[in-house]
Amino acid sequence: MPLAVCATPIGNLEDVTLRVLKELAEANVVLCEDTRHTRILLERHAISASLLSYHRHNEAARVAELLPRLEAGERVALVSDAGLPGVNDPGARLIRAVLDAGLPVSVLPGPSAVETALVASGLLGKRYQFLGYLPRGQKALAAVWAELESWAHPAVAFESPKRLPGTLRSLANAQPGRRVAVCRELTKRFEEVTLGAALEVAERFAEAPKGEITLVVGPGEPRVEQVDLAVARGAVRELVQAGVPRRQAAAVVARLTPVTRNTLYAESLQSH
């Protein structure tokens, strides 16, 4: 029997597929990142199964234990706490070992925090980049923003609620007008998607929120020469001083220069 890699809900327990439920019910053993978490899902759908922990601290031992069982024809299902195992969750090591042993692997798709956040943000494109969990250090974060500055497609990342304010401040300092969406508690009761320029969203999340966070960073823009930015910024300032609303002034100047409206608006707030 193949190793069955099963996607599980990212929040709402009703999002599990019928195919995954059938596999979990029929498996000889279900490998879980956290057995307590998986038991909640199984009980919700009246499934009784033999659960075995599988996480980053015991991966090596579990791989050695499970390969003989798979070779003997046992039915093994692999799940993580949410989403698809192996994508920023334990599982990749076992999957590689099973394939290297010449045994089959079957992937049962399902909910994805990455794609759900991307669609919910509206920052869509033909391509996107998945960044996984963002680095913790400020220098490392700055390097990520520099890399994405001219990336013409959205990027999706995971971030902890505690580190979110610092991450947004870092992005706002580097690219204040960059569009960004904070997707919180996706598919759950208190789901929230906050979209705006990095500077505005950073102000909105000055304090750490609660819940799971998926961050979508909008497409980058071609580099603008400093002289263009300086001239455009000055034009916005003059219009505002003449009584034109700040957003309207940014929109007018954006139509006449290579600088975007969001960038001009954010820059005018900083110089205000």
What does each of the 272 residues of the chain score in pLDDT, given as a tens digit?
799 999 999 999 999 999 999 999 999 999 999 999 999 999 999 999 999 999 989 999 999 999 999 999 999 999 999 999 998 888 999 999 999 999 999 999 999 999 999 999 999 888 999 999 999 999 999 999 999 988 889 999 999 999 999 999 999 999 999 999 999 999 999 999 999 999 999 999 999 999 999 999 999 875 545 557 788 888 889 888 888 999 998 998 888 887 888 888 888 887 65
Q: What is the CATH number of the domain that holds 82?
A: 3.40.1010.10
Which of 73, 108, 143 represents a domain boundary (last residue)? 108
Residues 197 and 252 grouped into a single domain:
no
Are 87 and 148 members of one domain? no
Q: Are residues 86 and 40 in the same domain?
A: yes
pLDDT at 45: 96
Instruction: Identify the pLDDT of residue 242.
Output: 87
Chain position carrying tokens 């996480």 = 55
Strand spans (E) along 46-95: 51-53, 76-78
Task: Locate the DSSP E strands across the chain.
Answer: 3-6, 29-32, 51-53, 76-78, 105-108, 129-133, 155-159, 179-184, 192-197, 213-217
The DSSP code for 10 is: S
174 and 154 within one domain: yes
Q: What is the CATH number of the domain that holds 210?
A: 3.30.950.10
Same domain? For 101 and 119 the reply is no
Residue at which a domain ends, from 55, 75, 108: 108
Q: Are residues 211 and 266 in the same domain?
A: no
The domain in which residue 7 lies consists of 3-108
Sheet of strand 179-184: strand arrangement: 129-133, 155-159, 213-217, 179-184, 192-197
- Half-sphere exposure in the Cβ direction for 151 (13 Å, CA): 23
The predicted pLDDT at position 125 comes to 83
Number of H helices, E strands in the chain: 11, 10
In this structure, what token pair is assigned to residue 237? 């300032």
Residues 130 and 210 in one domain: yes
pTM, to two decimals:
0.77
| 123 and 197 inside one domain | yes
- Indicate if 98 and 25 belong to the same structural domain: yes
* Same domain as 119, residue 104: no
Same domain? 122 vs 56: no
Domain boundary among 108, 131, 166: 108
Domain identity same for 97 and 10: yes
| Residue of 259, 271, 268, 270 whose CA lies nearest to 236 | 268
Predicted pLDDT of residue 272 = 59
- Given this model, what pLDDT does residue 222 score? 59
Number of domains forming the structure of the chain: 3
What burial letters (b/e) apply to 56-78, b meaning 16+ CB within 10 Å? Answer: eeebeebbeebbeebeeeebbbb
